[in-house]
Amino acid sequence: MKYVVILGDGMADYPVPELDMKTPLGVAHKPNIDYMAEYGELGLVKTVPDHLNPPGSDIANMSVLGYDPDEFYTGRSPLEAVSMGLSLADDELAIRCNLVTLSDDEPYGQKTMVDYSSDEITTAEARELIGFINEKLGSDNMRFYPGVSYRHCIVLKTDSSLPLLCTPPHDISGRQITDFLPKGFMHDELIERMKESHRLLKDHPVNIARREKGLRPANSIWPWGEGRRPALSDFEAKYGLRGAVVSAVDLIRGIGLCAGMENIIVDGTTGTYRTNFEGKAGAAVDFLLNRGDFVYIHMEAPDECGHRHEVPEKVRSIEYIDSRVVGSIASRLRDAGVDFKMLIMPDHPTPLVLRTHTHDAVPYVIYDSRAKYPLNPGARYDEAFAAATGIYRPLGHMIMESFLKDDVANV
């Protein structure tokens, strides 16, 4: 038996006027996933406990992989730091560092968050800017490290246990940043670096070239997601399965590495709906047929569309996941004569109307290729059908154990 998790980041949503008060999952053409919803276990699962804030992909994906966030979660950025090859010492704090676009004319504290991703700046451009920032603003106790696209890392050397409170930039899109600047330990130093970054970046050659192309400039750093070195238990030791992670983003790669899983890098992956879906599917099948038993495929695209209120693109992202990932993997495993189970779900909702994450339970389906008859005749994979089954899992970190059980009700 082979096990596949298809994680569509932020797929779940609320009904929106642009879709005649339906959700993207409700209108998307996804015959492969809908078939699995008919033949599999369909329900709702709570991936982020209400007491953990914000309801981020870090907590949610850790939960889906079977790790209780109340026991294992130490912050988002340390997971990304691991993926970037950074080894954190006990006296070091990792902080996510976005390259963002702020409005130009106002004093820094009165600016508006125009774009948390700087128009999805390329990795090459971002590496040049982060290198420049580290040269100008780095110090013995604060270093800047480049990641992928707009996602980077600050490592702060400190043994203080005092809290630092930072706000995710995607939570304040279109809003004035005044009330959302860092608070708590060393906030003055961080805010000063943010102000200086704007002065240094606004007329940097990279940004001049971006403006000439009609692209938004990456004119400020934005710290958030602070935390210390994580310690996840080994996935193979926990479940007896050799596993791998396929993702375009450092956060998910970092979770996989911390859990002792193989990190599969696929060329052309971007974290958007323009990513290399076929490459991810192919890499997953190759791993399952040749090296391992379990693969966790993470697609960032629906989440990005939710944050940016891109309604047609979010629907399209779901359809791409269905046809270019789910359908492709299922077909190739069947052709190889391999029995498989597939868990399909989001990590959390990213409602288009809110442009940020929520704590709401998300729809999931557990499908077993050995299933002979439908458990949910006529069902579709969306929020309403999942709720109508009456199946609700309140502890997200327990779904992995259920998924990996080798049983099937409808043979």
pLDDT band for position 74 (50/70/90)? confident
Give domain status of residue 409, yes or no: no
**306-358 pLDDT, tens per residue?**
999 999 999 999 999 999 999 999 999 999 999 999 999 999 999 999 999 99
pLDDT band for position 367 (50/70/90)? very high
Does residue 290 carry a pLDDT above 90? Answer: yes
Which amino acid, 228?
Answer: R
On whether both 373 and 258 belong to a single domain, the answer is yes
- Residue-wise over 142-169: b if at least 16 C-beta within 10 A, else e? bbbbbbbbbbbbbbbeeeeeeebebbbb
pLDDT band for position 159 (50/70/90)? confident
On whether both 59 and 134 belong to a single domain, the answer is no
Q: What torsion do the CA atoms of 167, 169, 171, 174 make, to the nearest 10 degrees?
A: 130
How far apart CA 233 and CA 81 sit, in angstroms, is: 18
pLDDT band for position 163 (50/70/90)? confident
Report pLDDT for 97.
Answer: 97
pLDDT band for position 373 (50/70/90)? very high
Give domain status of residue 202, yes or no: yes
Q: The whole model's pTM is what? A: 0.84
Q: Are strands 41-45 and 92-102 parallel, antiparallel or unpaired?
A: unpaired
Mean pLDDT of all residues in 140-162:
91
Q: Which of 157-171, 286-300, 385-399 has the lowest mean pLDDT?
A: 157-171
Give domain status of residue 144, yes or no: yes
Q: What percentage of the chain exceeds 70 in pLDDT?
A: 100
Q: Which two tokens stand for residue 146?
A: 């480049």
Report pLDDT for 312.
Answer: 97
Q: 368 phi and psi, to 5 degrees?
A: -120, 125
- Sign, Cα dihedral of 228, 233, 236, 241: negative
Element spanning 64, H or E: helix 57-64
Residue spans of alpha helices (H) in 152-276: 187-201, 205-212, 235-239, 250-258
Mean pLDDT, the chain, whole residue set? 95
Q: Assess contact for 197 and 129: CB atoms under 8 A.
A: no
**14-30 pLDDT, tens per residue?**
999 999 999 999 999 99
Give domain status of residue 56, yes or no: yes
Residue 186 in 3-state DSSP? coil
Please identify, among 198, 227, 256, the residue that sits at the C-terminal boundary of a domain.
227
Report pLDDT for 115.
Answer: 97
On whether both 158 and 171 belong to a single domain, the answer is yes
Measured over all CA atoms, what is the biggest interatomic distance in the chain, rounded to whole angstroms?
A: 66
Report pLDDT for 143.
Answer: 96
Does residue 247 carry a pLDDT above 90? Answer: yes
pLDDT band for position 116 (50/70/90)? very high
Residues 339, 344, 348, CA angle at the centre, nearest 5°? 160
Q: What is the DSSP code (8-state) at residue 298?
A: E
On whether both 237 and 151 belong to a single domain, the answer is no
Helical packing angle, 277-290 and 327-335, nearest 10°: 30
Q: What is the DSSP code (8-state) at residue 139?
A: B
Report pLDDT for 305.
Answer: 96
On whether both 270 and 378 belong to a single domain, the answer is yes
Report pLDDT for 333.
Answer: 98
Report pLDDT for 271.
Answer: 84
Give domain status of residue 78, yes or no: no
Q: 85 phi and psi, to 5 degrees?
A: 85, 15
Mean pLDDT of all residues in 258-282:
93
Range of the domain at 386: 2-73+232-404
Residue 43 in 3-state DSSP? strand
Q: Which two tokens stand for residue 290?
A: 């040749």
Mean pLDDT of all residues in 41-49:
98
CATH number for the domain spanning 56: value is 3.40.720.10
Give domain status of residue 410, yes or no: no
On whether both 222 and 324 belong to a single domain, the answer is no
Give domain status of residue 111, yes or no: yes
On whether both 239 and 158 belong to a single domain, the answer is no
Report pLDDT for 76.
Answer: 86
In the numeric block, the tokens 């779940």 are attached to: 12
On whether both 87 and 189 belong to a single domain, the answer is yes
On whether both 324 and 237 belong to a single domain, the answer is yes
Does residue 131 carry a pLDDT above 90? Answer: yes
On whether both 194 and 293 belong to a single domain, the answer is no
Mean pLDDT of all residues in 37-56:
96
On whether both 371 and 242 belong to a single domain, the answer is yes
**185-235 pLDDT, tens per residue?**
889 999 999 999 999 999 999 999 999 999 999 999 999 999 988 889 999
Mean pLDDT of all residues in 84-96:
90
On whether both 162 and 274 belong to a single domain, the answer is no
Mean pLDDT of all residues in 105-116:
96
What's the domain count of the chain? 2
Give domain status of residue 355, yes or no: yes
Q: Assess contact for 200 and 80: CB atoms under 8 A.
A: no
Please identify, among 227, 257, 272, the residue that sits at the C-terminal boundary of a domain.
227
How far apart CA 247 and CA 297 sit, in angstroms, is: 6
Please identify, among 199, 227, 255, the residue that sits at the C-terminal boundary of a domain.
227
